Amino acid sequence: MELTQEQWAAVRELIPEPPRRADGRGRPWRDTRAVLEGIVWVLRSGARWKDLPERFPPYQTCHRRFQQWVRSGVMRQVLWTLAQDLHERGGIDLHECFIDGTFAPAKRGARESAKPSGARGPSLWPWRTAMVFRSPRTQAVLRPPR
């Protein structure tokens, strides 16, 4: 997904400039907009980082920058701003949304009726799904209409 000029203008100020080394050594940083577009492509497509098309910076760069931005809270602000932009343009209706928590694990080479290994602990997806529903933002969206 490529960001429009308006979307990029809205989020450009939210993303801090990458730090420069005092001695001027090291590789130059990749274009922030291209990295963000690569991250948005992965988030939108659900593909693995390794499957990032060549038109974007290397997947390692995008993934590393994504991790940094998530830890610092930048990614939350960027995604919130992009969602607001979509909402204002009528591209998203927050009154109609759902969360798909389906997950179908498959063991390679296993029979359909094979019992899963007891070595693995319980799955955390029900807990994560419950946490999403308990989120204050989700509660505001899921309130019944008046």
Dump pLDDT digits (tens) for 99-112.
665 655 666 665 65
Q: Is the pTM of this model over 0.85?
A: no
Q: What is the pLDDT of residues 17-69, one digit of tens each?
A: 888 888 888 888 899 999 999 999 998 888 899 999 999 999 999 999 999 99
Query: Would you say 3 and 79 are in contact if contact means Cβ atoms under 8 Å apart?
Result: no
Domains of the chain, residue spans: 5-110+119-142
Query: Would you say 36 and 24 are in contact if contact means Cβ atoms under 8 Å apart?
Result: no
Residue whose C-alpha is closest to residue 10's, from 92, 56, 79, 67: 79
